[in-house]
Structure 1
Amino acid sequence: MPKRKSDCAHEELHPRAQALKELPRQALLGFRRELALQPFPQALCHLQEWPRLVDELRDVEAKLVAEAVALALGGDIWCWALPSTVEEVDAAQGALKTMLEDGRQRLLAALRNGDNFCAAVKQHCGKKDGQALMRLGKTRVMWLLGASPEEGIEWTKRKRRRPRRKGKQVTEAESEESFSSEKNEPSEAKKTHDATLQFLRSIREKRNAKMQETTC
């Protein structure tokens, strides 16, 4: 029976994941953060104490290295590679630059405190400028604000990934927390629609009541 492409990819990743698993966990977590925020050659500098491993990874696609890091860490951990998300990271960095240092520190403190991500971003960055941060997700925003690699992984472990819908791929942003709270909030259009339906329902009930009185 021929192997599926996904099976082959998993086998290809396994040796690299095994090699990465030999690293101290602190170093592996730091490499995870660097992969998400730095160009691949710069991210590899984080592993300069392990030159043989750096040589093995140098010519590997950054996305595959990120997947290997996720396998090495184990659990339901998401890892990113900057080349795949460079526009989102750049946009988030630009949004953070519009904030004063005091505002950035207050935002980081709120996120560390467990405040709702979207609500905290809107409060400290504003809804318009905060869109770029919400697209990037809580973990990487915390890293951009100066959080340690461990803080990122602790958040990811607490966050449960949503089940996939049939025929629909879940994106990295959806796997995180990007717009989750906003999606759960009823929109103004929905509120108006519900109010209209309730109004029409009351008119129909009154009309039916009058028809029954006339019939009697």
Structure 2
Amino acid sequence: MVSTNSDPTSRHVADTVTHSAKLLITGAFGVGKTTLISSVSEIPPLRTEEQMTTASVGIDSLQGLQNKTTTTVAMDFGRRTLADDIVLYLFGTPGQRRFWDLWYGLSEGAVGVLVLVDTRRLDDSFEVFDQLELNTTMPMAVAINEFDGAPRYDVADVRSALDLLPETPIVTCDARERSSSVHALITLVKHAMETTATTAHR
């Protein structure tokens, strides 16, 4: 249940919080990571966005992203109280390949990773999943960010196209909408808890 804290915009964590979890929000360039963190954060999110310049021409593909003018160059950070006793700390990664070295530091201590994908540019996600599989064992969930005008596919078809394991949760969301984005985060948290419990009983 999402917290009904009387002052959800407070910069201070509520006294009732006894548990915290760090989540990594990642995905290819332009899939909506900054938007998702901004939509759910109960504090003003920390952003490290810079204006895109002609220096990125030929390096960052803007196919399907013609209106994009800024990009994350280090990280995004936000906080969300998920229940009266649980708070989430959200760390968003930069999407461009040249910044991927930053992922390793950002992922340290995280209990799970939410991967955003864009059905208009599924090919851009292949390298992201390859990178995660090579460098982390964190529980993972996938959120299909449903951009306006983007093709809609069955979740099973997306799972097959991305060659995801059967146990990897997949949800659809609109990163601009708080409730939709919170649902994606809850899906990841539940999966991380279930994975941890299963591992502990082996």
- Structure with the greater alpha carbon radius of gyration: 1
For normalisation by structure 1, the TM-score amounts to 0.28
Report the structure, 1 or 2, having the larger strand content.
2
Report the structure, 1 or 2, having the larger helix content.
1
For normalisation by structure 2, the TM-score amounts to 0.29
Q: Which has the higher contact order (CA 8 A, sep 6+)?
A: 2
